[in-house]
Amino acid sequence: MLTGKVALVTGAGRGIGREIARALAADGATVIVNYNGSQECAEAVVAEIVGSGGSAEAVQCNVSDFAASEAFVKEVLDKYKRVDILVNNAGVTRDNLIMRMTEADYDAVLDTNLKGAFNMIRHLSRSFIRQRSGKIINISSVSGVLGNAGQANYSASKAGLIGLTKSVAREFASRGVNVNAVAPGFIDTDMTKGMTEDAKKTLSSMIPMGKMGGTKDIADLVLFLAGEHSDYITGQVICVDGGMSM
Ligand code: NAP
């Protein structure tokens, strides 16, 4: 059980982040539900958690902003004194073929998906080291493991997140802080809703299990990585993708 633990989940108002926030709260953690633009969604997640007897708070922060992330972390530490579980889930896509990809689309994806995770880990690093315990879980992607045509920016950000995960895992291993990455395959959320039926069919044909995953498939693994049963696991990239990347 995560009773007494404080968890911070970035981008937790919608999709995978929301499911992770629910799962951690249901297991007893107090959850900071971070959002950037989706205030109503984040407040609805908090209301749902509190309504079922849990503890949560919604806090706005654009994690791609170094100074804003620092202020966000300070606010959380002033109030809760610690963060035991950090889930870097916030992510965006700006898909296009490389020859048509704009600099702005490249930068926006790298800034949120990779620098956002750096910002949060960087600002919480002293606190994690002082505690000599903690779990950091970075939500990467199968696109970062395999690459994906039309997603050079996104794949680069998610592959970068794997390098960040392994490096920080090595830095923190002797301090009792575990750092792992989860690489989802194709999961049914707003991020994948925009895909055409044809694209979905093509993708499903690449998945040995023949179907998209659900948000719970990811939250279940995050819950395991956040708890004591994963204490001897660090620096790993675990794919949750119906066999797509094997
Ligand atoms: P989603 O439904 O589009 O949700 C994205 C979340 O990221 C939203 O809660 C959004 O918050 C948040 N976010 C975006 N920019 C942010 C920023 N600058 N600061 C703080 N939060 C920000 O996507 P999802 O499918 O749940 O994806 C969640 C994570 O899983 C992402 O990292 C994504 O890359 C990864 N992933 C998803 C899939 C998939 O198939 N769905 C596959 C592999 C990996 P606001 O709405 O408040 O802006």
Domain spans, the chain: 6-240
pTM above 0.95, yes or no: yes
Which pLDDT score is estimated for 51? 98
160-188 pLDDT, tens digit per residue, is: 999 999 999 999 999 999 999 999 999 99
Please, which pLDDT band fits residue 143 given cuts at 50, 70 and 90? very high
Cβ distance 120 to 63 under 8 Å? yes
Model confidence at 197: pLDDT above 90: no
Percent of the chain with pLDDT over 90: 94
Give the CATH class of 6-240: alpha beta
41-80 pLDDT, tens digit per residue, is: 999 999 999 999 999 999 999 999 999 999 999 999 999 9
Q: Which of 208, 180, 214 is nearest to 20 (CA)?
A: 214
Which pLDDT score is estimated for 198? 79
CA of 38 to the centre of ligand 1 (A): 11
Model confidence at 95: pLDDT above 80: yes
154 catalytic residue (yes or no): yes
Mean pLDDT of 21-30: 98
Average pLDDT, the chain: 97
Mean pLDDT of 104-122: 98
Position 130, amino acid: R
Q: Which of 131, 162, 186 is nearest to 236 (CA)?
A: 162
Which pLDDT score is estimated for 227? 98
Model confidence at 199: pLDDT above 80: no
> Which CA distances in Å does 240 have to 153, 226, 246?
21, 16, 11
Which pLDDT score is estimated for 202? 81
| Joined tokens for residue 124 | 């919480």
CA distance 222 to 155: 21
CA distance 131 to 10: 21
- Best probe residue, ligand 1, of 8, 9, 14 (max atoms within 8 Å of C-beta): 14
Cβ distance 181 to 168 under 8 Å? no
Q: Which residue of the set 80, 106, 154, 232 is catalytic?
A: 154
Residue 128 Cβ contacting ligand 1 at under 6 Å: no
Contacts of 237 by beta carbon, 8 Å cutoff, 6+ apart: 140, 145, 162, 165, 180, 181, 182, 183
Which pLDDT score is estimated for 181? 99
